[in-house]
């Protein structure tokens, strides 16, 4: 690439009836100055492009990191939801099993109470029959002692005396 300095110091060969040297030199100086300005601006633009490319690369890396983080967060959320569902299902199954066990134990207890009540009722009926039999015997005995013959016998016994055997 040609530089502004090379343009300024470039020498042309002389020809018969050539161009006005002063105009050529002024034109060359102007071209060199414009060339240097363009070269400088081009260098600045290349530097700006490089800086923007570096920033763009940084943002792309940041975007990739954020995408990875988002994907990881989504996966983690899905895992948490899945684990929560599994835990809820396990707790529900445990609760169902516990309720079933309690119901079975309750039914067994009710059966035992019913058997106990039936046995107690049977024993009480036997005891009640015995009490009724004793009441009947006591009534019969009471009726026996209230009969006129027994009353007379008792009355005679009370008046009887034992005579001494002499």
State how far the Cα of 11 lies from the Cα of 6, in Å rounded to an integer: 9
Are 10 and 28 in contact by the 8 Å Cβ rule? The answer is yes
Q: What is the pLDDT of residue 61?
A: 97
The phi and psi torsions of 76 (rounded to 5 degrees) equal -65, -45
pLDDT beyond 80 at 99: yes
pLDDT tens profile 73-89 = 999 999 999 999 999 99
| Averaged pLDDT score across all residues of the chain | 89
Q: What is the pLDDT of residue 164?
A: 61
Average confidence (pLDDT) over 151-158: 80
Q: Which residue has the higher pLDDT, 2 or 107?
A: 107
Q: What is the pLDDT of residue 156?
A: 81
pLDDT beyond 70 at 1: no
State how far the Cα of 76 lies from the Cα of 93, in Å rounded to an integer: 25
For the chain, give percent helix, strand, coil, nearest 5: 85, 0, 15
pTM over 0.75: no
State how far the Cα of 127 lies from the Cα of 99, in Å rounded to an integer: 41
Q: Which residues, 6 or more positions from 31, have their beta carbon under 8 angstroms from its beta carbon?
A: 7
Average confidence (pLDDT) over 4-23: 76
pLDDT beyond 60 at 166: no
């Amino acid at each position: 690439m040609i530089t502004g300095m090379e343009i300024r110091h470039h020498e042309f060969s002389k020809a018969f009836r050539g161009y006005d040297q002063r105009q050529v030199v002024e034109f060359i100086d102007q071209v060199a100055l414009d060339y240097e300005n363009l070269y400088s601006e081009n260098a600045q633009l290349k530097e700006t492009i490089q800086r923007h490319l570096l920033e763009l690369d940084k943002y792309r890396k940041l975007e990739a990191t954020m995408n990875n983080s988002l994907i990881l967060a989504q996966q983690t959320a899905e895992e948490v939801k899945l684990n929560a569902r599994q835990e809820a299902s396990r707790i529900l199954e445990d609760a169902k099993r516990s309720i079933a066990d309690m119901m079975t134990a309750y039914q067994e207890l009710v059966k035992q109470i019913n058997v106990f009540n039936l046995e107690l009722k049977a024993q009480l009926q036997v005891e009640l029959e015995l009490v009724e039999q004793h009441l009947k015997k006591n009534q019969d005995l009471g009726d026996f002692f209230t009969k006129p013959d027994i009353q007379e016998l008792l009355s005679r016994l009370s008046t009887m005396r034992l005579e001494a055997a002499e």
